[in-house]
Structure 1
């Protein structure tokens, strides 16, 4: 079985594909959006996920799992409002959301995605 790695550097790959499954590295907002609030950073992050899913041969309808990390759980509803509008109705993945401390205080949210390739 072949493992395909895309957008690699010395530490990680942004995309790994194996046996019809797509694994995305944790995604943050775009660097130019780090000054935005949690809702804005969530939208920026999900826009990046959309691009990576397309590049990997998948899309939102094929997401299997989403792991979300937020810097402050008291504001999770702000993230959920954006996330809920982004996930296609009837295609909700398995998901968990936890509070996490990030490397820089400006960062508020991160997501890691597992998806199926489009056949």
Structure 2
């Protein structure tokens, strides 16, 4: 039986779950969201993802897939500018980006990843 490790578990969800050699993050939003630009929210989220991956014993070089939700698709280029500076060259994951109403109006970006450990 393979162990399941929950990172930062809460009553509703864990921020990440490790199982079977993979880490799955919950959708991450910016902690400093109110008034922050899409670029600032994206930087905040990617920093949070870096920390979760490190806690799981892996890194962005082992990303397999990413899902990005934008509250407004017109901010796609702004988000991508930050993403392109963060993602590891030669290790880009599969990715989907969609427009969606997010959990609260102050959130403009949400990102979830799956990575190998």
TM-score, scaled to structure 2: 0.95
Residue ranges of structure 2 left out of the alignment (5+ in a row): none
Residues 42 and 109 of structure 2 are in contact (CA less than 8 Å); yes or no, is this contact kept in structure 1? yes
1:80-99 residue pairs with structure 2 within 5 A?
80-99=80-99
Q: What is residue 75 of structure 1 aligned with on the other side?
A: 75
Q: Distance in 2 between matches of 1:92 and 1:61?
A: 8
- Runs of 4+ aligned structure 1 residues displaced above 4 Å come to none
Residues 39-85 of structure 1 deviation map (CA, whole Å, 9 limit, x = unaligned): 11101111111111101111010111100000000110000010011
State the alpha-carbon separation in 1 of the partners of residues 104 and 24 from structure 2: 24
Instruction: State the alpha-carbon separation in 1 of the partners of residues 103 and 9 from structure 2.
Output: 21
Q: CA deviation at 1:103?
A: 2.3
- 2:20 aligned partner: 19
The aligned length equals 116
Equivalent residue number for residue 47 of structure 1: 47
Measured after TM superposition, the shift of residue 34 of structure 1 is: 2.8
